[in-house]
Amino acid sequence: MEINYMIKSETLLKLKGEISKGVTLIKKCIEEKKPILIRHHSDADGFCAGLALERAILPLIHETHTREREAWFSYSRKPNMAPYYSYDDANKDLSYFLSEKGNYEYKKPLVILLDNGSSDEDVLALKKLKIYDVKTIVIDHHPISKNTEGLMDIHINPHSLGNDYDFSAGMLCAEMAKILNPKTEGCAFIAAVSAYADKVRSIEKEDYVKLCLKEGYTESFLKTFAEALDFEASSLGYCDSRQLMDDFFGRDKEKQKEIIAMLKEVVLKKKNDALISAKKYSHISRMERMNLVIIPMAAISFRGEFPHFGKIVGMMHDFVAESEKKPTVSIGLSDSMITFRGTPDSTLDTAKIITSLKHKFPHAQVQGGGHAKAGSVKFIPAAYEEIKEFVLQKIRE
């Protein structure tokens, strides 16, 4: 298969084999009229990833299926609120597919997991799909757990190459969409928005932005769009919202313009209000080699409302890091969760802290994941004080 990427990238070249396998499997499932389900995280990067593949897949399905109802059954996209593919979601998906056995000639589905699927939290759901012989493609950019080995058919992830944060899931899926269906429009835009939303730092991100500038976009619009998408994704939650998302991403340019203009001030105010509270009540320990920012999340925000915990921690973290130009680690505290952020020059390693917590506090039911410099851990509320003190000690060390 001939593969032409939108940009030049050593990472993409090294992932060429798995990307080719993924494209081939998707095309085969479309040709054989097998159901395809896309599952993605319900955040800006997840929606970018899902929308990119949706734009490529749907026209191919409609070319293959002669009846509208068959085409409708052959594809679906569902966001998941958790940053992983949960066992609950796997059971819901399997229940849906198996319930259709009596209505159609049953064909085993293809499940495509985007912006999740690589962690320990995904293992149980992946095992359940495997028991039912469901084909699975994972396209992710989070650290890979050894426990997921052999549980998916295709795994496209820069971490398999030792890369840390070159790519977001949306960037990877934008490239796959263009290969899968060269007529797919807006792929560079989706990649750039995804990169801004997930704070990717790489040459590849800058190359996608340059492509967008050639298409007439501005960096200011890309950033504003990414912020608005983050808000929209937070509002939509479990809803796939195909029509709303199509308009949001520019099918109707006038509606897109009105929506982005409407949300711009709303998002800015909500973020500013949250940051004012964070500045007021956070504690900054200015140590010799680093700053430690402690943010009492449960006391300064509303659970379930925008901006979410991780966003507020990120904003406060960026404020301190940029104003003091010093290695900075920030932690957001709530009664059953701690969110981590670290500057690239900090020694924060979220995975190591979570591993230590699981070993030290087996009674705390510790779960968590993310990237080395950005992640979260959750635990039972009864263990809050001992977990908090252990984490602070580890970071100060």
Q: What is the pLDDT of residues 365-385, one digit of tens each?
A: 999 888 889 889 999 999 999
Tell me what pLDDT residue 259 has.
Answer: 93
pLDDT tens for residues 64-97? 876 666 666 789 999 998 889 999 999 999 998 8
pLDDT tens for residues 254-309? 999 999 999 999 999 999 999 999 999 999 999 888 999 999 998 998 887 899 88
H helices of the chain, in order, are 10-14, 16-31, 44-64, 68-73, 87-99, 123-131, 169-180, 187-197, 203-214, 219-236, 242-248, 253-281, 297-300, 309-324, 350-360, 384-396
Could you give all domains of the chain from N- to C-terminal order, each with its CATH number?
10-260 (3.90.1640.30), 282-396 (3.10.310.40)
Tell me what pLDDT residue 370 has.
Answer: 81
Alpha-carbon span 330 to 113, nearest angstrom: 30
Mean pLDDT of 194-202: 92
Query: What pTM does this model have?
Result: 0.90
Q: Assess whether pLDDT exceeds 70 at residue 219.
A: yes
Are 131 and 72 spatial neighbours (Cβ–Cβ below 8 Å)?
no
pLDDT tens for residues 40-53? 999 999 999 999 99
At residue 112, the 3 state secondary structure works out as: strand
* Phi-psi label, residue 237: left if phi above 0, alpha if psi -120 to 50, beta otherwise: left
What letter represents residue 117's amino acid?
G
Tell me what pLDDT residue 243 has.
Answer: 87
Alpha-carbon span 309 to 330, nearest angstrom: 12
Compute the chain's Rg from CA coordinates. Answer: 21
pLDDT band at 321 (very low <50, low <70, confident <90, very high): very high
Mean pLDDT of 214-231: 94
Joined tokens for residue 248: 């949001």
Alpha-carbon span 90 to 242, nearest angstrom: 21
Tell me what pLDDT residue 163 has.
Answer: 75
Mean pLDDT of 23-30: 96
Partners of 332 in beta bridges? 295, 339
Tell me what pLDDT residue 106 has.
Answer: 63
**Closest alpha carbon to 314 in 212, 211, 226, 202:** 226
Tell me what pLDDT residue 65 has.
Answer: 77
Residues with Cβ within 8 Å of residue 88, at least 6 apart in sequence: none
Q: Assess whether pLDDT exceeds 60 at residue 167.
A: yes
Alpha-carbon span 23 to 181, nearest angstrom: 9
Joined tokens for residue 273: 């209000």
Our CA dihedral for 303, 305, 309, 311, rounded to 10 degrees, sits at 180
pLDDT tens for residues 334-350? 999 999 999 999 989 99
Alpha-carbon span 119 to 90, nearest angstrom: 15
Query: Whole-number mean pLDDT of the chain?
Result: 92
